[in-house]
Chains A and B, each alone.
Chain A
Amino acid sequence: MKLLNRSLVYITTVFFVVIGVWSVIFYFNLKDEIRDSIDDGIDNNRLLIIIKVESDSTLLLQNEFGGNNFKIRPISKQEALTFRDVFKDTMMYRLNENDLEPVRILHSAFERNNEYYKLTVISSLVEEDDLIEDSFWSVVSLFLILVVSIIVVNNIVLRKVWNPFYEILNQLKTYRLDKNENSIEINSKTKEFIQLQEASNTLINRSKEAYFSQKEFTENASHELQTPIAIIIGNLEMLLESPDLKDKDADIIAQVINIAGRLKRLNNSLLLLAKIENKQFFEEETTSINEVAKSLISNYDDLIDFKEIKIEVLESSDLMVKINNSLVEILLSNLIKNSIFHNKKEGKIKIKISAEEFVICNTGNPKALDSKSIFNRFVKDQTKTQSTGLGLAISNAICKSYNLTISYEFTEDLHCFKINFKNILNLD
């Protein structure tokens, strides 16, 4: 959720609650106030009627409301003396509205010439449901007006206020450690944003240092190890060419050359892993997975023929992705090589390329591999001593660096590796 919207949600919620509670309280206060003033009016009417009765006794005959707002009925003295004025809400039929409407009613008693009377005065009351409805809509419109004005204020004013923040964010998002770019710069006098800028730059400089020292280390480590290995291999090869060598000795020398070769591959693979994890492959190009896969397969034609493997490539779509060229070749060639080397004679390889997936399945050992550990470093087929056990770890690291999912499945006696390229599809 965006920052702007988040603050909007909080403010709207608070407004909703505050206005809701306030309108309930306001409603009851208003109703009380109205009732009070009506009661005062009725009381005043009562006094006026009592005074008027003194001079006009015909009013005493008014025992129904008729058109007036009072009626008078004689009562016994006893009843009159125990009588207390009482205000009540009640419903009365109204001709014009053809409905029962709320009225305020006052029951009172008075005495005239030793005769006792009960006086009832009415006054029409505000229609409560109408009042509720009217005030409800007023409150809703108030609420809406407030929310709309907050949105407007948020968008115009806050966007301006937060602009330096978004600027920093954008610069951070596109920042490339490997490109040796300038520090982040913004135009702001706000203290917090200046602090954010400074903190970002400190962090960038530290990461830069770490990045370059790690890059330097991988390269130096490569140099320092590769040269001794080169000397070992060179010297042993020279030794192997000396004329008076016994078969047994030659065999041992060949074995050591072999081991040195393994050392070399191990070193290369670990360096490659470090480089991938260090994101030192950054140039990206639009690449067709179909093309890369097919050209890699053609490199192994002879070996595929030799092992009499049937290879089947199903292309339901052209899979175009944005990826580093070297990495995609390493990724696919690791999988294709595995599918050949771990295959059996007269086996099968099935490659499926769809709109977003590359799937490669091969026959081989009829037992599922451990799908959890298979992508870990140094997990290898114990019968293949020359293997470094890093091939799939490298593939996995490449997938991780591009946020791709790689998975393993064993179905219908086929070992299947699936890569989903959804995140780096080239859609142009």
Chain B
Amino acid sequence: MKILIIEDEADLRETIKESLVKEQYIVETADDYSIALEKVAIYDYDCILLDIMLPKGNGLDLLEELKKMGKSENVIIISAKNALDDKIRGLALGADDYLTKPFHLAELNARIKAVLRRKNFQGKDCIELGNAVLDIQERTLNVDKQNVHLNKKEFDILNYFMSNKNRLITKTSLAEYVWGDNIDQADNYDFIYYQIKNLRKKLEESNAEIVLESIYGVGYKLAEK
């Protein structure tokens, strides 16, 4: 899987790159408009991370170019601008997703995985790990083809973990994922802890080959048994 990061901020670019390399992707980077345009014209990428504010040009213009080439459907816009206009324009130009900075790496991972799944397994939006199959569209979990009932938040949490296999997910990141943007009370960890506890019990009872491990007491990691 080849991913292109178009981002002018060197530190952020490197951090994202490091994180994506860990996921076994082939990662290339571009730090301004013209380099980016050159790369997207020559190569095909499975996913493109696109910053809107770029030196020598605007990310949205690049998106327009991509659309002309028919390559805009696997673009995730990463922007510090939470401006609604940009978001709407970006999505109208065919971008797949819009992620506002700052974000957690786990969140970015989950979004990239979603784009890749949609691109590569047409129509069938599932994550498979061991004997566990998470159907994103139907919002169901099957272990050994047996349905395991999950409530809404348990499903969201498991989805997040399964998109970040073997990666540490901090409680903060998990809380923000569960509660969404602009949440003012992310310190409400009791509930998260309770959901994780239930989820573990359900996975264990259904003999799933995945397990949620606690790491340093600061977060969790999903691993295959």
Contacts and interface: CB of A to CB of B under 8 A. Distances in A.
Nearest to A268: B182
A17 interface: no
A384 interface: yes
A230 B103 contact: yes
A389 to B, nearest CB: 8
Contacts of B103: 230, 233
A238 B19 CA distance: 7
A265 interface: yes
A238 to B, nearest CB: 6
B53 interface: yes
Given A260-B102, A271-B82, A237 B188 contact: no
A264 interface: yes
Interface string B167-191: 1101111001000011111111011
B168 A241 contact: yes
B9 to A, nearest CB: 5
Contacts of B18: 238
Interface stretch (A68-76, A125-133, A298-306, A400-408): A298-306
Given A226-B101, A237-B170, A254-B219, A326 B184 contact: no
A237 B84 CA distance: 28
Contacts of A265: 182-184, 186
Contacts of B154: 302
Contacts of A257: 170, 172-173
Contacts of B170: 237, 240, 254, 257
B152 A302 contact: yes
B216 interface: yes
Contact of B184 (A222, A260, A269, A271): A269
A182 interface: no
Nearest to B82: A222
B202 interface: no
Interface string B192-225: 0011000000000000000000011111000000
A245 B219 CA distance: 14
A261 interface: yes
Contacts of B11: 231, 235
B172 A250 contact: no
B83 A219 contact: yes
B218 A302 contact: no
Given A230-B101, A237-B170, A251 B218 contact: yes
Interface of B, secondary structure class, is: mixed
Contacts of A268: 82, 181-182
A373 B98 CA distance: 37
Contacts of A240: 168, 170, 216, 218-219
A223 interface: yes
A386 B185 contact: yes
A390 B81 contact: no
Nearest to B168: A241
Given A223-B53, A341-B185, A386-B187, A261 B105 contact: no
Nearest to A252: B218
Given A229-B102, A238-B19, A302-B152, A386 B186 contact: yes
Contacts of B41: none
Interface string A211-243: 000000001001111110111111101101100
A235 B191 CA distance: 27
A234 B16 contact: yes
Interface string B138-176: 000000000000011110000000000001101111001
A237 B152 contact: no
Interface string A351-373: 00000000000000000000000
A124 interface: no
Interface in B81-128: 81-84, 100-106
A391 interface: yes
B12 interface: yes
Contacts of B215: 250
Nearest to B9: A227
B80 A227 contact: yes
Nearest to A342: B185
A261 B103 CA distance: 9
A169 to B, nearest CB: 31
Interface in B4-45: 9, 11-12, 15-16, 18-19, 22
Contact of B80 (A226, A232, A251, A330): A226
Interface in B42-95: 53, 80-84
A237 B182 contact: no
Contacts of A391: 184
A342 to B, nearest CB: 9
Q: Which of B100, B154, B188: most chain A Cβ within 10 A?
A: B188
Interface string A86-103: 000000000000000000
Nearest to A240: B168
13 contacts: A223-B80, A226-B101, A226-B102, A227-B12, A231-B15, A232-B102, A237-B168, A240-B218, A245-B216, A268-B181, A301-B152, A303-B153, A390-B184
Please list the 9 inter-chain residue pairs (A to B) with the smallest Cβ-Cβ separation, ordered nearest first. A230-B102, A254-B218, A250-B216, A386-B187, A226-B80, A234-B15, A223-B80, A229-B102, A226-B101
Interface of A: 219, 222-227, 229-235, 237-238, 240-241, 245, 247, 250-251, 253-254, 257-258, 260-261, 264-265, 268-269, 271-272, 301-303, 306-307, 326, 330, 334, 337, 341, 384-388, 390-391
Given A227-B101, A237-B105, A240-B219, 8 more contacts: A227-B80, A230-B103, A233-B103, A234-B105, A238-B18, A241-B167, A268-B182, A302-B153
